Amino acid sequence: MRPAAPAAAVPFRHLTALWVQITGTWCNLQCAHCINASGPREPWLAPLDAEAVRRAVLEAAALGVKEIYFTGGEPFLHPEVMPLLAFALERAPTTILTNGTLVGEAMADRLAALAGRARYSLELRVSLDHPERERNDAVRGPGAFDRALAAIRRLDARGLLPILTATETDRSTEPLYDRLRALLLATGVRKPRVKILPLYPAGRMDGRGGGRVTAEMVEQVGAERLQCSEARAVAAGGVYACPILAGLPEARLGATLAETLTANRLTHPACLVCWETGSSCRNA
């Protein structure tokens, strides 16, 4: 029997994006397709304390990072999320990924004020997976659709231009991007922004896909197309190649950013989705 080809290794080029798993897997929703199985019960991946976040941001800034992303879980559950956002915004453009359920009028006002005085730009990504309420809430839970859409309206009204971010959980003859863009326009959002992500075989979808990326496959597309060539994720327990794999013991690269700016082996089934789709978790 012919031996399986070894997994590919992606050389590290430079640190463009730092992902901060600020709340670990602590979330107020329990989405059916969540890439890290977040939820409201005891998180399997602990939140980061404020000092750990500041250390990671400072180290990334010293390494020339171009973008910082706060994710989870649900980042707005972190008791110090606003001062930590302000800290990051003094050093690089910063994005926070949220399900929108905790972005009420008062929080929207605070975010607008923060964006107005920040040195760098603040972006917000709000998760909403389907333009139909019932289909979205079947994945994200009752009421998630209305609360996410309300958050998008609030942020848009304050000039923050949120990015609706959806995971393509099913296929349709009409592209999901077009349907979500039409939803935002119908809601009164004047400059709709939509990002579509593929479904990853990780978290609650673990085991739904197979295969791995080989060196030959990477050569076909170029290593620079894969986000682990220029991103790292900081979470409880260490530093990881990307936010999809943050917290997985087998994906841990080291304790600090400086010691993890090395090649990353593409051993997880989720890596195959990145190769197939060219998808990036970043805003662009």
SS3 196: strand
Q: Which residues contact 284 (CB under 8 A, 6 or more apart)?
A: none
Domain residue ranges in the chain: 12-208+228-263
Residues 105, 106, 110, 111, CA torsion sign: negative
How many angstroms separate the Cα of 178 from the Cα of each of 162, 183, 281? 17, 9, 20
In whole angstroms, what is the distance from residue 42 CA to residue 202 CA?
19
Closest CA to 50 of 11, 18, 78, 70: 78
Average pLDDT for 110-132: 97
Q: What does the DSSP 8-state code read for residue 233?
A: E
Residues 254, 258, 264, 270, CA torsion sign: positive
pLDDT tens string 157-174 = 999 999 999 999 876 667
Residue 42 CA to chain centroid, in angstroms? 21
What is the architecture, at CATH level 2, of domain 12-208+228-263?
A: Alpha-Beta Barrel (3.20)
pLDDT tens string 168-227 = 987 666 799 999 999 999 999 999 999 999 999 899 898 777 778 888 888 888 888 899
Q: Which residues contact 13 (CB under 8 A, 6 or more apart)?
A: 223, 224, 229, 230
Q: What is the DSSP string of 133-188?
A: HHHHHHHH-TTHHHHHHHHHHHHHHTT---EEEEE--S--SS-HHHHHHHHHHHHT
| Token pair recorded at residue 231 | 């991103």
Task: State the chain's mean pLDDT as an integer.
Answer: 93
Q: Is 24 left (phi over 0), alpha (psi -120 to 50) or beta?
A: left
CA diameter of the chain:
64
- Type of residue found at 273: V
Helices (H), the chain: 50-62, 81-89, 105-117, 133-140, 144-157, 176-187, 215-221, 269-277
Instruction: Identify the bridge partners of residue 167 per DSSP, sorted by sequence position.
Output: 197
Contact (CB, 8 A) for 63 and 257 = yes
Q: How confident is residue 1, by pLDDT bands cut at 50, 70 and 90? A: very low
Q: pTM surpassing 0.75?
A: yes
The pLDDT of residue 184 is 98
Q: What does the DSSP 8-state code read for residue 79?
A: T
Angle at 14 between CA 259 and CA 95, to 5 degrees: 95
Q: How confident is residue 278, by pLDDT bands cut at 50, 70 and 90? A: confident
Closest CA to 190 of 162, 215, 169, 217: 162
pLDDT tens string 23-70 = 999 999 999 999 999 999 989 999 999 999 999 999 999 999 999 999
Instruction: Identify how many contiguous H helices and E strands the chain contains and give both numbers.
Output: 8, 11
